[in-house]
C-alpha cells in the first residue's frame, strides 16, 4: 500500500509541477515531462529498450492485489520482475523487448478476486496482440473463467503460479464435456507449476491422521479452490478411516462464527472433534474463524487446525494473533524455501537482496512461471519460429521437458501439470510458519 | 365511509401456500429438517440458550448500526451506504486510541478501564464528526437532486472510506500489531475485556463457577448492556427533547418544519452526528467482541444493518432495534442448527417473506408524508 500511496502522491506532485511549469514557461516543462513520467511508472521496459528496432512482447500477470491475498501476490509480482530484470527485459539476443504489466483481478467492492474483473482482464489480454503470455491466476475460480476466453484467442498461453484445483487440467469422468467447455478450440493452453489439490487434499488427510486425530470437522469457503480441496480431503479421510463429523460451507464475510464453533464443540458425540480442516483462502475470513474456534474450543494443541496453502501466509497469523495461531498447520506444494535446489536458493538470495526478507511460499512459483514464459520464447526463437505467434509460444510451453528451474528438474505433462508432487507442512510457531515435514 | 366486508385475499393465500410448499420441499436440503432440529434441541437444550446469547450479542451490534441507517433514511430518505464504513473507522479509531495510550500492553485494570472509556469517547466523537462531514460534502448539495444522485455519491463515499481503512491498517507506527503485511489483511483487536478480567483474577466466563455448561462472557454482558443503554438513550432523546421533536417534525414534512422556524440543516447535521456516534460506539463494541479490525468489515455489517432497518420498518427506530436482534438470532440459530452454508440465504429469505406480507416492515415505516 505504501508503495501505491507513494506512487499516487508522486504522480500528483509531478502533475502539479508540470501544470505550474506550463503556466510559466512552456519549453522547460516539455523536457521535464518524459523523464518524470518514466520515474512514476512501474519498472516497465519502455524506458530501457535496448535497440530501436526491437519488437515488444508483452507478458501480463492477473492476480488479486486488493485484499488479504496481496501479502502473497506482491511477492509473486516481485519475483516475476526479478526474473525479467535478470533477463534484462529482452529475449532472443535482443531481438525482442519484454514488457511486463501486473494486473489486479480483485475489486475493492469484493475485497478479493472479482469474476467481473478477471473476465475483463482476460478479454483485454485476448484483444492486445502484443501479449504473448498470461501469468495467472491466483484463484482457481478465476482461472475457470479466463481459460476459455484465452483459449479462443490464439490460443494465448496461460501459466499459473498458484491454482491448485484439479478440475482445471484434469479430465473429469463424472462431468462429460467439461473438458470441451474449458478448452473450446480443443488445444490445451493452460499450465501450472504447482501441484494440484488431488495431491494436496490427500496428503493433508494422511497428515491429520498422522497427528493422532481420529475425527475431523471440515469447513470450506464455498469457492472452487476451497471446496475442491476440502472435498478431496473429505473423500480421503473417509477412505483412511478418519471420522468426518461434519462438512459445511461458511459465509466468508460473516462478522463472527461463535455459533458455528459452539455447534462444532459438541458435534463429536458431545465433545469437540480432534481436528478441524479449513479449505479456504485467507481473504475469506480464515483468521476470524480461527479466533472464534480458539475462544470456544481452546488452543490448536487440543483441537488441531489444519488448512491448505490458502492460509499459509503471514497475513493469516497477523489477522488471528500470534498466540491464537500458535500450532496451526498449513500445507504448501513444493519443498521448504531452504530445501530448494541450487537455482531456487539463488532466487531466494537474489529476492532477499532486492526486496527484503522472504517468507511467503508462492514467490518462487511466480519466478518459475516467468522462467517458463521466457524459456518458451527463447525456444521458439531457437527453432526459427516467430515469438509474436501465440500458438507457437503455447506449444513451446507444453514442450518443456526436464526443465532445470528454481523448483528443481521437472516436465509438463499433456494436461499442463508439472511433475512436482512434494507437499510441505508448516506449523505456526512463535508467530511465523515453520516447515515441519515434506510428504509425497 | 363504510367499506364492504373485506374480501378473502386469494392472492395472498396463494403466495403463502407457495412459500410453505417451497419451505417444506427445499427445507430438508438446507438442513431445515424439523425432526432433526427438534432432536438436536432436545439432546442439548442448554445449547439453545447459548445460541440465544450469541445471537443477542451479535444482534445488539447490528441494531446499533441499523439505527444510523434508519434515522438518516427517516429524515432525508437516503440510504447512507457509507454508514457501515463509518463503523469500520470506529473500530480502527478505538484500536488506535488503545494503542497510543499504551492500553494494549497494560495489565493494570485501572489503566485498561480508563483507556477503554477514552477509546469510546474518541471513537464516538470522531465517527460523529466524520459522518456529519460526509453529509456536508457529499449529500447536502444533492438534497434536492433526483434520488439516485445522493445514492451514487453515498456508494462513492463508501469506497473512499474503505480505502482510508485500507491505508490506516498499514500504519504500523500507530498500532505495532498491524505488522508488515500491509493494510489488506485482517488485524487483531486485542481482547481487552478478557485481559481486564483476568488481571482482576476473575474468570472471563461469568458462569464458570456455577457449574452450568454455558458461556456467558463479560464481552456478551458489556455489549448487550451498552447497546441497550444507547438505544434507550436514543429513544428518550428523540421522544423527549426539543431537538428530537424537531427531528421528528423534519422527518414528517421538511418544508412545513422549515416554515415553523426549524433549522433544517442543523437538524440533519445532528441526525448524522448521532448516527455516526452510534456507529463509533458499535465499532468499539464489535472490536472488543469479535477481536478483529478489517478494512472490509463495514460492508457486511452495513448490509446486515440495512436489512435489519428494512425488516423492522425503515425510519422506525424501535423497528431498527427489533430487526437487528432478529437478524442476529436468525444467523446464530441457522449456524447452530442448520448448515452454515445457508445462513445468508435464510436471513434474506426471511426478509423477503416479511416484506411480502408486511411491505412496510414489522413495525411500519416512518418517513415523510408523500404529497
Per domain, the residue ranges of chain A are 54-194+342-410, 197-333
Q: Which residues of A touch B341 (CB under 8 A)?
A: 222, 248-251
Of the candidates A432, A193, A192, the one whose C-alpha atom is nearest the C-alpha of residue A312 is A432
Comparison of pLDDT for B27 and A195, the residue scoring more: A195
Q: How far apart are CA A285 and CA B260, in angstroms?
A: 51
In b/e form, how buried is each residue of B16-51, taking b as 16+ CB within 10 angstroms?
eeeeeeeeeeeeeebbbeeeebeebeeeeeebeebb
The string of pLDDT tens digits covering residues B270-322 is 999 999 999 999 999 999 999 999 998 999 899 999 999 999 988 888 899 99
Q: Quick check: A259 and B299 CB within 8 A?
A: no
Of the candidates B150, B146, B139, the one whose C-alpha atom is nearest the C-alpha of residue B268 is B139
**CA–CA distances in Å: residue B367 to residues A139, A360, B71, B248:** 45, 53, 10, 9
- Mean pLDDT, rounded, for B334-354: 84
Q: Quick check: B159 and A255 CB within 8 A?
A: no
**CA–CA distances in Å: residue A103 to residues A117, A124, A134, B185, B344:** 10, 11, 10, 20, 32
Give me the residues paired with residue B40 across strands. Answer: none
In-domain check, residue B295: yes
What ranges in B210-342 are assigned the alpha helix state H?
218-240, 242-252, 254-259, 264-290, 297-312, 317-337
- C-beta atoms surrounding B236 within 10 Å: 11
Tens-digit pLDDT string for chain A (440 aa)? 455 555 555 555 555 544 434 433 333 333 333 333 333 344 444 444 444 568 899 999 999 988 778 888 999 999 999 999 999 999 988 889 999 999 999 987 788 899 999 999 999 999 999 999 999 899 988 999 999 999 999 899 999 999 988 888 876 554 444 456 788 888 889 999 988 888 889 999 999 999 999 999 999 998 888 998 999 999 999 999 999 999 999 988 888 899 999 999 988 888 899 999 999 988 888 999 999 999 899 889 889 999 998 899 888 998 898 889 999 999 988 888 888 999 999 999 999 999 988 888 899 999 999 999 999 999 999 998 899 999 999 999 999 999 999 998 899 988 889 988 888 999 999 989 999 988 87
Q: Quick check: B186 and A248 CB within 8 A?
A: no
B306/A contact by beta carbon, under 8 A = no
Biggest CA pair distance of chain A = 82
A293/B contact by beta carbon, under 8 A = no
In-domain check, residue B102: yes
Range of the domain at B150: 20-357
- Mean pLDDT, rounded, for B143-166: 91
Q: How far apart are CA A435 and CA A329, in angstroms?
A: 9
Domain containing residue B223: CATH number = 1.10.3470
Q: Is the Cβ–Cβ distance between A99 and A89 less than 8 Å?
A: yes
A99: closest CA of chain B, how far (Å):
27
Q: Which residues of B touch A292 (CB under 8 A)?
A: 290
- C-beta atoms surrounding A392 within 10 Å: 20
B171/A contact by beta carbon, under 8 A = no
Q: How far apart are CA B65 and CA B89, in angstroms?
A: 13
- C-beta atoms surrounding B318 within 10 Å: 16
Of the candidates B282, B103, B96, B284, the one whose C-alpha atom is nearest the C-alpha of residue B178 is B96
Q: Which of residues 50-69 of B touch A (CB under 8 A)?
A: 50-51, 54-55, 58, 61
So what's the pLDDT on residue A47? Answer: 45
List, in order, residues 6 or more apart from A150 with CB less than 8 Å away. A122, A125, A126, A134, A156, A157, A158, A189, A190
B298: closest CA of chain A, how far (Å):
10
A1/B contact by beta carbon, under 8 A = yes
A161: closest CA of chain B, how far (Å):
20
Q: Quick check: A259 and B163 CB within 8 A?
A: no
A432/B contact by beta carbon, under 8 A = no
Query: Can you tell me whether residue A380 is helix, strand or coil?
Result: helix
Q: How far apart are CA A192 and CA A136, in angstroms?
A: 9
In-domain check, residue B366: no
Cis before A155? omega within 30? yes
B255: closest CA of chain A, how far (Å):
37
A372/B contact by beta carbon, under 8 A = no
The string of pLDDT tens digits covering residues B79-96 is 899 999 999 999 999 999
The partner residue sitting opposite B185, judged by closest CB among A2, A108, A318, is A318
In-domain check, residue B12: no
Q: Quick check: A109 and B179 CB within 8 A?
A: no
Q: Quick check: A291 and B344 CB within 8 A?
A: no
Work out how many domains chain B is built from and give that number: 1
Q: Is the Cβ–Cβ distance between B153 and B142 less than 8 Å?
A: yes
Domain spanning A54-194+342-410, CATH class: alpha beta
Where in A92-156 does DSSP place strands (E)?
96-104, 106-107, 112-113, 131-136
Structural fold of domain A197-333 = Rossmann fold (3.40.50)
Residue B218's pLDDT band (cuts 50, 70, 90): confident
Q: Quick check: A71 and B167 CB within 8 A?
A: no
Which of A372-381, A427-436, B133-142, B336-345 shows the lowest per-residue confidence on average (mean pLDDT)? B336-345
Residues belonging to chain B: 371
Q: Is the Cβ–Cβ distance between A61 and A347 less than 8 Å?
A: no
So what's the pLDDT on residue A31? Answer: 35
A256/B contact by beta carbon, under 8 A = yes
Amino acid at each position: 500500500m505504501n508503495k501505491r500511496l507513494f506512487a499516487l502522491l508522486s504522480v500528483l506532485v509531478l502533475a502539479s509541477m508540470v501544470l505550474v511549469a506550463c503556466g510559466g514557461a512552456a519549453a522547460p516543462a516539455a523536457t521535464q515531462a518524459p523523464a518524470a513520467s518514466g520515474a512514476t511508472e512501474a519498472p516497465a521496459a519502455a524506458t530501457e529498450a535496448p535497440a530501436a528496432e526491437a519488437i515488444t512482447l508483452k507478458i501480463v500477470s492477473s492476480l488479486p492485489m486488493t485484499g488479504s491475498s496481496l501479502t502473497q501476490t506482491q511477492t509473486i509480482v516481485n519475483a516475476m520482475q526479478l526474473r525479467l530484470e535478470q533477463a534484462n527485459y529482452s529475449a532472443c539476443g535482443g531481438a525482442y523487448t519484454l514488457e511486463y504489466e501486473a494486473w489486479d483481478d480483485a475489486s475493492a467492492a469484493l475485497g478479493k478476486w472479482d469474476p467481473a474483473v478477471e473476465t475483463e482482464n482476460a478479454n483485454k489480454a485476448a484483444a492486445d496482440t502484443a501479449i504473448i503470455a498470461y501469468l495467472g491466476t491466483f484463484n482457481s475460480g478465476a482461472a475457470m473463467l479466463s481459460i476459455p476466453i484465452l483459449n479462443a484467442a490464439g490460443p494465448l498461453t496461460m501459466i499459473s503460479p498458484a491454482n491448485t484445483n484439479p478440475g482445471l487440467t484434469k479430465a473429469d469422468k463424472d462431468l462429460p464435456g467439461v473438458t470441451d467447455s474449458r478448452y473450446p478450440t480443443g488445444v490445451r493452453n493452460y499450465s501450472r507449476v504447482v501441484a494440484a489439490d488431488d495431491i494436496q487434499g490427500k496428503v493433508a488427510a494422511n497428515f491429520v491422521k498422522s497427528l493422532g486425530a481420529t475425527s475431523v470437522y471440515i469447513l470450506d469457503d464455498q469457492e472452487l479452490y476451497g471446496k475442491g480441496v476440502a472435498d478431496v480431503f473429505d473423500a480421503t479421510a473417509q477412505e483412511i478411516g478418519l471420522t468426518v463429523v461434519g462438512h459445511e460451507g461458511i459465509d466468508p464475510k460473516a462478522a463472527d462464527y461463535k455459533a458455528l464453533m459452539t455447534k462444532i464443540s459438541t458435534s463429536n458425540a458431545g465433545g469437540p472433534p480432534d481436528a478441524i480442516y479449513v479449505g479456504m483462502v485467507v481473504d475469506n475470513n480464515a483468521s476470524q474463524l480461527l479466533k472464534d474456534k480458539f475462544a470456544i474450543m481452546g488452543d490448536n494443541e487440543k483441537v488441531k487446525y489444519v488448512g491448505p496453502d490458502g492460509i499459509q501466509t503471514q497475513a493469516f497469523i497477523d489477522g488471528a494473533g500470534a498466540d491464537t495461531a500458535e500450532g496451526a498447520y498449513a500445507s504448501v506444494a513444493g519443498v521448504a524455501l531452504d530445501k530448494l535446489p541450487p537455482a531456487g536458493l539463488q532466487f531466494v538470495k537474489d529476492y532477499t537482496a532486492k526486496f527484503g526478507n522472504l517468507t511467503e511460499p508462492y514467490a518462487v512459483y511466480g519466478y518459475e512461471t516467468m522462467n517458463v514464459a521466457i524459456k518458451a520464447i527463447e525456444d521458439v526463437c531457437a527453432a526459427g519460429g516467430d515469438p509474436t505467434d501465440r500458438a507457437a509460444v503455447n506449444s513451446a510451453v507444453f514442450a518443456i521437458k526436464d526443465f532445470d528451474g528454481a523448483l528443481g528438474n521437472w516436465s509438463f505433462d499433456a494436461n499442463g501439470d508439472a511433475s512436482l508432487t512434494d507437499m510441505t507442512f508448516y506449523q505456526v510457531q512463535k508467530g511465523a510458519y515453520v516447515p515441519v515435514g515434506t510428504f509425497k | 365511509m363504510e367499506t364492504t366486508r373485506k374480501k378473502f385475499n386469494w392472492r395472498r393465500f396463494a403466495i403463502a401456500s407457495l412459500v410453505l410448499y417451497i419451505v417444506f420441499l427445499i427445507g430438508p436440503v438446507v438442513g431445515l429438517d424439523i425432526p432433526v432440529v427438534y432432536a438436536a434441541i432436545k439432546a442439548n437444550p442448554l445449547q439453545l440458550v447459548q445460541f440465544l446469547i450469541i445471537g443477542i450479542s451479535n444482534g445488539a451490534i447490528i441494531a446499533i448500526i441499523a439505527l444510523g441507517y434508519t434515522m438518516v433514511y427517516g429524515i432525508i430518505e437516503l440510504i447512507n451506504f457509507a454508514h457501515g464504513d463509518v463503523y469500520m473507522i470506529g473500530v480502527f479509531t478505538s484500536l488506535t486510541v488503545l494503542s497510543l495510550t499504551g492500553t494494549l500492553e497494560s495489565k493494570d485494570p485501572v489503566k485498561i478501564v480508563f483507556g477503554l472509556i477514552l477509546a469510546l469517547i474518541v471513537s464516538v466523537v470522531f465517527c460523529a464528526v466524520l459522518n456529519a462531514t460526509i453529509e456536508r460534502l457529499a449529500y447536502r448539495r444533492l438534497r434536492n437532486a433526483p434520488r439516485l444522485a445522493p445514492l451514487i455519491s453515498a456508494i462513492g463515499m463508501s469506497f473512499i472510506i474503505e480505502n482510508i481503512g485500507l491505508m490506516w491498517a498499514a500504519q504500523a507506527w500507530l498500532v505495532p500489531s498491524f505488522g508488515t503485511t500491509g493494510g489488506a489483511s485482517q488485524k487483531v483487536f486485542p481482547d481487552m475485556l478478557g485481559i481486564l478480567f483476568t488481571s482482576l483474577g476473575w474468570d472471563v466466563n461469568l458462569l464458570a463457577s456455577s457449574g452450568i455448561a454455558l458461556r456467558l462472557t463479560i464481552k456478551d454482558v458489556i455489549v448487550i448492556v451498552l447497546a441497550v443503554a444507547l438505544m434507550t438513550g436514543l429513544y428518550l432523546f428523540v421522544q423527549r427533547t426539543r431537538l428530537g421533536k424537531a427531528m421528528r417534525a423534519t422527518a414528517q414534512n421538511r418544508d412545513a418544519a422549515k416554515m415553523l422556524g426549524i433549522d433544517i440543516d442543523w437538524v440533519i447535521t445532528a441526525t448524522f452526528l448521532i448516527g455516526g456516534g452510534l456507529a463509533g460506539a458499535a465499532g468499539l463494541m464489535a472490536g472488543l467482541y469479535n477481536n478483529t479490525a478489517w478494512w472490509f468489515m463495514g460492508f457486511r455489517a452495513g448490509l446486515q444493518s440495512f436489512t435489519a432497518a428494512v425488516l423492522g420498518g425503515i425510519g422506525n427506530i424501535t423497528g431498527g432495534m427489533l430487526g437487528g436482534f432478529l437478524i442476529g438470532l436468525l444467523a446464530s440459530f441457522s449456524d447452530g442448527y442448520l448448515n452454515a452454508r445457508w445462513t445468508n440465504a435464510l436471513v434474506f429469505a426471511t426478509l423477503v417473506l416479511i416484506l411480502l406480507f408486511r411491505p412496510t416492515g414489522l413495525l411500519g415505516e416512518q418517513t415523510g408524508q408523500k404529497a
